[in-house]
Amino acid sequence: MHRRGVGAGAIAKRKLAEAKYKERGTVLAEDQLAQMSKQLDMFKTNLEEFASKHKQEIRKNPQFRVQFQDMCATIGVDPLASGKGFWSEMLGVGDFYYELGVQIIEVCLALKHRNGGLITLEELHQQVLKGRGKFAQDVSQDDLLRAIKKLKVLGSGFGIIPVGGTYLIQSVPAELNMDHTVVLQLAEKKGYVTVSEIKSSLKWEMERAKHVLEHLLKEGMAWLDTQAPGESQYWLPALFTELYSQEITPEEAKEAIP
């Protein structure tokens, strides 16, 4: 009986200790959350002060925006994650980029029938600036890239493909793997590419080259010129703009959305 008493008592004691520990654990989290809440309020005040002095800078100065974004990324903060975030609410960065996102979507949609959903960053930039009108804030290519990165999450196939020092922006959910990307990069120099060029530059076999080119044709991203001297040429309309460009009005762009 004596032993059982000790045993029972020990268990009971242990249980009590565990319960107390859990309680303390909960209290700890409570404390930290309370602390975070307080610090958050302080931070909000700091941000408000910063905004009152420098909000204009963010809106007007693309360089400053780049700096701002880079610093945020370094410390692990995404100022564009939510419109409800402090950054967005107080600095207005959110509205700037989210609206840009809408404009990008509209431009891409309006031109999709022509370029199959691939467009150079330059052309996108030009068209977006046109749509914004001359009284709108200046928008840089860096701004466009950041807005596009955010659009990816909507699932409609937004992607950024590096080619020859610039970027091609994809806006359709077409599968573009490394092979496709590499051929696009090859085509960027002249706006078109041939099977022989692919075979000699990339050292691929005929089958592989044809497979990639056919996929691009099917997606409407490449056009076939069978009347070219020598062999057929595969042209990328996305890279055409130096040769001809098409005006679209903001109204046309809006109409493009059903």
Partner 1 sequence: FIQLKRKFVKFDTGVLLLSTHRLIWRDLKNHECCIAIPLSQIVFIEEQAAGIGKSAKIVVHLHPAPSNKEPGPFQSSKYSYIKLSFKEHGQIEFYRRLSEEMTQRRWENMPVSQTIQINRGPQAGRIRAVGIVGIERKLEEKRKETDKNISEAFEDLSKLMEKAKEMVELSKSIANKIKEKQGDITEDETIRFKSYLLSMGIANPVTRETHGSGTHYHMQLAKQLAGILQAPLEERGGIMSLTEVYCLVNRARGLELLSPEDLVNACKMLVALKLPLRLRLFDSGVMVIELQSHNEEEMVASALETVSEKGSLTAEEFAKLVGMSVLLAKERLLLAEKMGHLCRDDSVEGLRFYPNLFMTQS
Minimum CB distance to partner 1 smaller for 44 or for 164: 44
**Site residues, partner 1 (CB under 8 A):** 22, 25-26, 28-30, 32-33, 35-37, 39-40, 42-44, 46-47, 50, 53-54, 57, 61, 64, 67-68, 71-72, 74-89, 94-95, 98-99, 101-102, 105-106, 112, 150-157, 172-173, 214, 217-218, 220, 224, 257-258
Edge-to-edge strands, sheet with 166-171:
118-120, 166-171, 158-163
Task: Tell the smallest beta-carbon distance from residue 88 to partner 1 (Å).
Answer: 7
CA distances from 22 to 9, 16, 34 (A): 20, 10, 18
Minimum CB distance to partner 1 smaller for 82 or for 137: 82
CA distances from 78 to 29, 58, 88, 152 (A): 25, 16, 10, 15
Q: How far, in Å, CA of 186 to CA of 193, rounded?
A: 7
Task: Tell the smallest beta-carbon distance from residue 80 to partner 1 (Å).
Answer: 6
Task: Tell the smallest beta-carbon distance from residue 178 to partner 1 (Å).
Answer: 18
Phi, psi torsion values for 167, nearest 5 degrees: -135, 145
Minimum CB distance to partner 1 smaller for 52 or for 247: 52
Task: Tell the smallest beta-carbon distance from residue 16 to partner 1 (Å).
Answer: 17
Minimum CB distance to partner 1 smaller for 36 or for 206: 36
Q: How far, in Å, CA of 71 to CA of 65, rounded?
A: 10
